[in-house]
Structure 1
Amino acid sequence: MSEKNVNCPENSKLNEKHAESFLEHANPSMFNDEKVSKTRGDYSGAVAKTDPREIKLVRKLDMRMMPIVWAMYFLNYVDRNAIASARLNGLEEDLGLHGTQYNTCISILFVGYLLMQIPSNMLMSSGKVRASVYMSVCMGSWAVVSACTALTKNYTGLVMVRFFLGITEAPFYPGALFLLSLFYTRKEIALRISILYSGNIVATAMSGLIALATFETLDGNHGLKGWQWLFIIEGVVTFGVAMLGLLMLPDHPLTTRWLTPEERELAHARILADTVGGENSKGVLAGLKEACRDPRLYLLAFMQNMHLSACSFNNFFPTVIGSLGFNSTITLALTCPPYLVSGVVGVIVGITSGKWNERTWHITVTMGIAVIAFVISCATMNTAARYLCCFLFTSGAYAVNSVILGWVSATLGQTPEKKAASLSVVNVVANASYIYTAYLYPDTDGPRYLIAMSSNAAFGAATIASAWALRWWLQATNRKIRRGALARGEDGVFYAY
């Protein structure tokens, strides 16, 4: 990890210009006679917004950017998880799937998904593409591929479609995280990521109801099964939203068309002022190398991998709920409430994490609740107790996602290129979990799914342990910065944990 800024005359002048712009637009009460009053901020130097112009800017970003990225992520997961509902409508029988072939169709998506994330985020951080155009085109592509699932006739066809769906869906989530990190500070980003992630949660909650309505009304129409109609309808809606993305998505703080020149300067400068150990950009490949040389990347990647491993129930949630003994209609209806509750819990956790600029205890408490619920779920066959556990482990496990990913951008964001690379690497390592966890839920292990639930509990415990390890690591780094052992203390900004 680089410990000193690399001086580049042009970049230095540019940063000075943006720093002066931040001073110009900020409320004078934010400063004292000598320097920015970051020293009066919290333990990490983060300062709450007080400048009316900055507050207005953040409100504009929230109203313009958040609805479209939420809708895009909602459909990202609806399209991806439709296969879980299609399974209940005879997908396996119609395509002749047997043994672990369905599990392979689940996991193959993440092979394509993992291959594209790092190069995609590197391309976005290079400035060679407009984020609004690039992400919208990717969304239109996955809409077409997802709709093509309705045309598959056998196992081979389904595997191919799922692989290419992973490739076309891969750019969105790490790209959306990178966009949020360009516009929101450390105290703001956890809430925004939790709102974004609620699109995933609501999609999982609603996908069962959407599928139920489709199966009940269209099954057999024009010679197509209900699961085929499901993929066609969702593909058409997704393509329509992709067109809206062209108008509503931002690009870079300095190039977003729907921001005024003053707002662009302020949007860029306030992120510079909130970055620990900010450095001048040195290119896309240099950013990737810096990320890979920072050992904290691997701890954060392991933490997120363990978190998503604990969330492996996602692709099998209708199957898990089905183990309670109800018919397919009631099963699809019962998948909704636990996810709606977890979406609300996730936003609350995002608010409190941002307000207190705290991460470790939020991860410990919420994931700790999930661990307990996983243990109870495989220890009892009581229907009410097991359904209650579905509420607890969905809420507890999902809530930590925004906290961890916000931690990545806050800790490894010394340059935009390093931040983009770090977010994509963490997502690649984390999503690799879906390749192997798909095999933790064989039909023969129901209804307890003892292997899966006990594994989820272990994954959750490892997430908590990783959070505390990183906390102690960052505390030690902050002590070095304050002693002057690292050349980063002059701006009064320290690592948050």
Structure 2
Amino acid sequence: MSKEKDLYESTVIGSEVYSFSEDIKITEEYADPSLQFLEKYKNEFENQEFSEAEERELNKRLYLWLFPLLLTVSTVCFIDKATLSYASILGLFESTNINAAQYDDLNSIFYAGYTVGQLLNFVLQKTDMAKFMTYIIFSWSVVVFCHCGAYNFGGLIVLRFILGLIESTVVPALEVTMLQFFTPNQRATLQPIFWCSSGNSVIIGGFISYGVLWAKHSIPPWKILMIILGGLTLIVTAWVAYIYPSDPASANFLTNKQKYFLIKKIQGETKASIVQHVIKKEQLIECLKDPISWLFTLFSFFLMMANNLGYQQNLLFVGLGVSRLGSTLVNVASGAFSSALHIVFAILIYYKPNSSALVTTLSCLPSMAGGIAMITIPWRHKLGLLASLLLASNFYGTAYIVGLGWATSSCSGNTKRFFRHFMFMIAYGIANIISPQLWKGNQGHDKDGEKRYYAAWTVQIVLAWVGTPIITWVIHSILKSRNNKRSAAIEAEGKDALGAVVKTDKSGNEIIDKVSIANLDLTDLENKRFIYPL
């Protein structure tokens, strides 16, 4: 596909004036499949208005039907991902005869599976999203149930690797669905609320663990936990099978008119396609050449060096003298605090859009302060250490949320978007393989003889909580520079443009349809009208 020209021929469609270039020309198979739906209902809806009342009804359906489902899937995913963290204080060590070092290894093994599983992203692009999600979530519920049969370290290795492999595609699928159904401004506000699921999972998992600790049964408490969580995941599978959409055109909770105007709205605001099942080699190459892709990869790697803190904190709570029952309640409070922070940051993003770098910085600074306190406050000040641990472990999560959403929203072209997400999650997986190992070995003791994990905290402070904000400001600077150059061109040539889709009729004759460039699956570097969110 050739690059777009600087000069365009003027074309009038209805009351709108578009610029048209025959250089932006692709065959039908490379166009957004949503184009077929738009053409099917063009005569019926093109000249109709979509009133404010209809717009509110559309948003209402999205917020009441789709968003709660996405939030629930993400919450259950976080709960199941952290099953070992809860099981660590529910008798897992005694039942399977594992030690603390092997526990750290199991967390690394989960993310080894998670990293390998990122290859499934390419399967995700080429398959029906609804069926894919149903099969994946059902499979992960089966694996959670199978944890009950593990009786040694070897069995847990296999199960944790498979669980990581299966869960690896859930977050990418949810992110793709958010991109398909919500505008950039909506996503910027919804993302932190959506990622309250991480805090919600801690609250729900903590209360379940607390209840299980009181259970008097011959079955070990950690196995009861696995049965409960496996059953919960199975229920979510049924919900997903009933309603999860592959794309806006297939959403059974929307009318055809709502689907039509939703597709037009998303394409109009993003100037990007919604669906594309063809993997395009040229977009893979562009993604690898784009420095922004590598900066987001580095962002993910640096920040996730702190991610094992969530798995260690239950053990750290106990080390600070908190009882096992007490640690579950502290964990619940931690989850509630985390969810509240996400909502606060969501409000900030709503009132101050294009502030991704600022929000990332603000979310990392308190974690940095907490990390510094964890290696400087004397061990005898247990309350201060507990507060510092909660500070360190709860704030930086918002940075991950912002970075993950920003990485995909700052590019277009479905293959490029999938591959950038692939790079981001590969870095995520590798960092999470490494991060549990930071807590192993002799890291020094304070003057009271207490182990302080100096190496682990230092790596987290320098890379995750100082390095990550620096990277975001570099990304911000590059994207802002690109926007400034594009704004001048858009002002001169107009915001909207048309390209051509080449079709072949039954007689073998070529037919050229003029369509919005949003239907052509152009990348952000090919489409000079793409404005980067900041």
Per the shorter chain, which TM-score range? 0.7 to 0.9
Q: Distance in 2 between matches of 1:487 and 1:308?
A: 43
Gaps of 5+ in 1: 29-50
Aligned to 1:209: 207
Does residue 448 in structure 1 map to residue 466 in structure 2? no
- The code of the aligned residue for 2:237 comes to A
Aligned to 2:74: 73
Does residue 328 in structure 1 map to residue 365 in structure 2? no
Compared with structure 1, are the counterparts of its residues 440 and 317 closer, same or farther at alpha carbon in structure 2 (3 Å cutoff)?
same
- The code of the aligned residue for 1:345 comes to L
Does residue 429 in structure 1 map to residue 427 in structure 2? yes
Q: What are the within-5 Å matches in structure 2 for residues 60-139 of structure 1?
A: 60-98=61-99, 100-119=101-120, 121-126=121-126, 128-129=127-128, 131-139=129-137
- In proportion to residue count, which structure has more helix? 1
CA contact (8 A) 1:201 1:340 kept: yes
Q: Distance in 1 between matches of 2:490 and 2:183?
A: 26
Compared with structure 1, are the counterparts of its residues 335 and 468 closer, same or farther at alpha carbon in structure 2 (3 Å cutoff)?
same
Compared with structure 1, are the counterparts of its residues 355 and 255 closer, same or farther at alpha carbon in structure 2 (3 Å cutoff)?
farther
Q: Distance in 2 between matches of 1:208 and 1:280?
A: 38
Aligned to 1:41: none
Deviates more, 1:316-325 or 1:381-390: 381-390
TM-score normalized by the length of structure 2: 0.80
Compared with structure 1, are the counterparts of its residues 291 and 253 closer, same or farther at alpha carbon in structure 2 (3 Å cutoff)?
farther
Q: What are the within-5 Å matches in structure 2 for residues 93-242 of structure 1?
A: 93-98=94-99, 100-119=101-120, 121-126=121-126, 128-129=127-128, 131-218=129-216, 221=217, 223-242=218-237
Deviates more, 1:259-268 or 1:19-28: 19-28
Q: What are the within-5 Å matches in structure 2 for residues 297-316 of structure 1?
A: 297-316=293-312
1:474 is aligned, of 472, 479, 500, to: 479
1:368 is aligned, of 365, 368, 378, to: 365
Deviations 1:229-281 (A, max 9, x none): 11122112211211111113222012222211111122222221122576995
Q: What are the within-5 Å matches in structure 2 for residues 316-465 of structure 1?
A: 316-357=312-353, 358-380=355-377, 381=379, 382-412=381-411, 414-442=412-440, 447-458=451-462, 459-465=464-470
- The code of the aligned residue for 2:390 comes to F
- The sequence identity of aligned pairs, in percent, is 18
Aligned to 1:268: 263
CA contact (8 A) 1:191 1:347 kept: no
Deviations 1:109-163 (A, max 9, x none): 11111112242x333333x32x222212211111111111111111111101111
- In proportion to residue count, which structure has more strand? 2
CA contact (8 A) 1:349 1:362 kept: yes
CA contact (8 A) 1:118 1:425 kept: no
Q: Distance in 2 between matches of 1:297 and 1:354?
A: 26
Aligned to 1:56: 57
- The code of the aligned residue for 1:83 comes to L
Deviations 1:337-365 (A, max 9, x none): 12211111112212322443221111111
- The code of the aligned residue for 1:495 comes to Y
CA contact (8 A) 1:77 1:200 kept: yes
Q: Distance in 2 between matches of 1:280 and 1:152?
A: 41
SS of residue in 2 equivalent to 1:434: helix
Deviates more, 1:383-392 or 1:403-412: 383-392
- CA positional deviation for 1:440: 1.6
Compared with structure 1, are the counterparts of its residues 201 and 308 closer, same or farther at alpha carbon in structure 2 (3 Å cutoff)?
farther
Q: Distance in 2 between matches of 1:152 and 1:281?
A: 41
SS of residue in 2 equivalent to 1:100: helix
RMSD: 3.0
Deviations 1:321-380 (A, max 9, x none): 223212211122111112211111112212322443221111111211211121112211
- The code of the aligned residue for 2:481 comes to A
Q: Distance in 2 between matches of 1:370 and 1:339?
A: 15
- CA positional deviation for 1:14: 7.2
- The code of the aligned residue for 1:201 comes to G
- CA positional deviation for 1:320: 2.1
- CA positional deviation for 1:202: 1.6
Deviations 1:45-66 (A, max 9, x none): xxxxxx4433332221111112
Aligned to 1:496: 533
Gaps of 5+ in 2: 5-22, 444-449, 497-528
Compared with structure 1, are the counterparts of its residues 87 and 489 closer, same or farther at alpha carbon in structure 2 (3 Å cutoff)?
farther
Q: Distance in 2 between matches of 1:187 and 1:176?
A: 17
Aligned positions, number: 468
Aligned to 2:25: 7
Q: Distance in 2 between matches of 1:208 and 1:88?
A: 11
Compared with structure 1, are the counterparts of its residues 486 and 299 closer, same or farther at alpha carbon in structure 2 (3 Å cutoff)?
farther
- CA positional deviation for 1:24: 5.2
- CA positional deviation for 1:391: 3.5
* Bigger CA radius of gyration: 2
Compared with structure 1, are the counterparts of its residues 9 and 326 closer, same or farther at alpha carbon in structure 2 (3 Å cutoff)?
closer
